[in-house]
């Protein structure tokens, strides 16, 4: 499955949520997320454009493998996910086969869905709490994503094709990070 998404920084959360609800979006998730990103010591996965993530989403745990696809307008990845029954056991298995967590992130996520498009508002904790809340829009194609951003009052230039480390770097450069 392809994951196509953009991020919009500097949002007014109340305004965004009011617009989403007025458009008929429904809230589908509002809980904590704890993510561990794994790789080998030689960074073989990252060097090949892959991301392996184990994430606890509320009471559910999901293992994801993502492979970058070149695109300048959006963050596009081939994504494969599987739900796992036990976050702790999966952590043990990954580490036993030589994978190590190189990044840990915790956040509060509020998710809305409208006609197959997902809208995520993330608030990061701990080491990444300097990142202001932002909106992520994920859809089946970039045209739909841009149209949804426009419905919410944003322009194409507001849509960033960044991953969370690029967002963190942006805010660090603005003097908001460590």
CB 2 within 8 A of CB 16: no
Q: What average pLDDT does the structure give for the chain?
A: 95
Task: Say if 178 falls within a structural domain.
Answer: no
Q: Specify burial of residue 86 (Cβ count, 10 A radius: 0-12, 13-18, 19+).
A: exposed
Return the higher-pLDDT residue of 177 and 55. 55
Q: Mean per-residue pLDDT for 148-154?
A: 98
User: Per the structure block, which two tokens stand in for 49?
Assistant: 């454009």
Domain count, the chain: 1
* Interval 88-147: pLDDT, tens: 999 999 999 999 999 999 999 999 999 999 999 999 999 999 999 999 999 999 999 999
Q: What is the pLDDT of residue 1?
A: 79
Task: Say if 25 falls within a structural domain.
Answer: yes
Rounded Cα distance, 135 and 29, in Å: 14
Q: What are phi and psi of 87, to 5 degrees?
A: -60, -45
Rounded Cα distance, 65 and 45, in Å: 10
Task: Say if 169 falls within a structural domain.
Answer: yes
Q: Report the predicted TM-score, pTM, of the whole model to 2 decimal places.
A: 0.92
For residue 144, give the CATH number of its domain. Answer: 2.40.320.10
In this prediction, residue 176 has a pLDDT band, given cuts at 50, 70 and 90, of low
Task: Say if 124 falls within a structural domain.
Answer: yes
Task: Say if 105 falls within a structural domain.
Answer: yes
User: Per the structure block, which two tokens stand in for 150?
Assistant: 């426009």
**Which range marks the domain in which residue 135 is found?**
2-173
Q: In 3-state terms, what secondary structure has residue 73?
A: coil
User: Per the structure block, which two tokens stand in for 107?
Assistant: 């956040």
């Amino acid at each position: 499955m392809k994951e196509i998404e953009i991020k919009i920084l500097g949002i007014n959360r109340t305004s965004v949520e009011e617009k989403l609800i007025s458009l008929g979006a429904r809230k589908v998730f509002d809980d904590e997320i704890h993510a561990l990103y794994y790789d080998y010591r030689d960074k073989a996965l990252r060097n090949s454009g892959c991301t392996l993530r184990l994430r606890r989403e509320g009471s559910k745990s999901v293992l994801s493998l993502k492979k970058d696809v070149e695109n300048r307008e959006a963050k596009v990845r081939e994504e494969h996910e599987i739900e796992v029954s036990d976050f702790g056991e999966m952590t043990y298995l990954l580490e036993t086969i030589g994978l190590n967590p190189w990044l840990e992130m915790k956040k509060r996520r509020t998710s809305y869905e409208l006609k197959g498009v997902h809208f995520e508002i993330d608030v990061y904790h701990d080491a990444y709490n300097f990142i202001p809340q932002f909106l992520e829009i994920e859809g089946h194609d970039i045209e739909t994503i841009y149209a949804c951003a426009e419905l919410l009052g944003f322009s194409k230039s507001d849509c960033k094709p960044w991953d969370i480390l690029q967002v963190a770097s942006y805010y660090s450069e603005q003097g908001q990070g460590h």
